[in-house]
Amino acid sequence: VLLNFLGVEFISQLDDVAFGLGKTGYLGEAYKKAAEEITFKRIKKKRSRAHVFVLLAVFAVLLGNTINIAIRQGKGYYLKKIIQVEFGDETVSLLGTFSGCYQLQNDMKDVNRVTYQQLGFTEKGGKFSYCNNVADGDGGWMFSIG
């Protein structure tokens, strides 16, 4: 990608040099006249309001979709219903016992907290919960047993 930009910049510099040479008359009188015409040429603007309405419509659609996604995300629509966790036994020897599948316990309708409970264990299994204020005001995942 960087090489593409370098190539475009190189060609742009060559174009600027050629235009400057033409404007000074170094390349001939015809080039000098053409360069002066280009320098003082005015482009007429066509006033149309249709493009404003099209842009507003596109903006409204994009804003509506963004708001819809934000609302769904806040309600937990995009959360996985079941996640699989694999613990290693290097740090704590019995931690591998809690490897397996965890099911979403609430869908954030009542409580604004995501909790996953280990499948197959009703009271003594592992549990993942997302807390908004763990350390330094940042959110993070907490693992608990039972």
Q: What is the pLDDT of residues 14-71, one digit of tens each?
A: 999 999 998 888 888 998 998 888 888 887 777 778 888 999 999 999 999 999 999 9
pLDDT of residue 107: 55
Which pLDDT tens digit goes with each residue over 105-130? 875 555 667 888 888 876 778 888 88
Between 108 and 140, whose confidence is greater? 140
pLDDT of residue 5: 81
To the nearest 10 degrees (0 to 180), the angle between helices 29-40 and 2-24 is 110
2 pLDDT band, cuts 50/70/90, is low
3 pLDDT band, cuts 50/70/90, is low
Q: Is 36 helix (H, G, I), strand (E, B) or coil?
A: helix
Residues 6+ apart with CB under 8 A from 53: none
What's the full length of the chain, in residues?
Answer: 146
Q: Count H helices, E strands: the chain?
A: 3, 5
